[in-house]
Amino acid sequence: MLLLGMGTLALTELATESLFHDETYYQVNGWPKLLGCLLAASIIWFVGRRLNAPLIESAHTRPGEELPKGHSFFFIRMEHWAPIFVAIGIAMMFAP
């Protein structure tokens, strides 16, 4: 998940530098960082919802057998990291 966030920020940096033909555009402006964090947040939310979808007990599980707890990062469920990435993006947008 952390790699996904860093990857989307790197991609938005490459895209803005290529689009505006300016090596410092990404560092000077905040909106590309917000865009990268929003992209990461949307991907993380969908992947987290998919990974943490309720599991259906099948014929292969025994009664009373414990099912996997779900996917989390630092004890926070994956889909709950999406709003955190949005907040990080907003903070990065207004940071000098």
Positive or negative: CA dihedral 13, 34, 78, 49: negative
Contact between 32 and 26 (Cβ < 8 Å): yes
Query: 37 in a domain, yes or no?
Result: yes
pTM of the model: 0.71
Tens of pLDDT, residues 66-90:
555 666 666 767 777 788 889 988 9
Positive or negative: CA dihedral 9, 12, 16, 22: positive
Query: 59 in a domain, yes or no?
Result: no
- The boundaries of the domain holding residue 88 are 2-52+71-94
pLDDT band at 18 (very low <50, low <70, confident <90, very high): confident
Query: 63 in a domain, yes or no?
Result: no
Query: 84 in a domain, yes or no?
Result: yes
The number of folded domains in the chain is: 1
Query: 65 in a domain, yes or no?
Result: no
Query: 66 in a domain, yes or no?
Result: no
Query: 57 in a domain, yes or no?
Result: no
Instruction: Quote the DSSP letter at residue 92.
Output: H
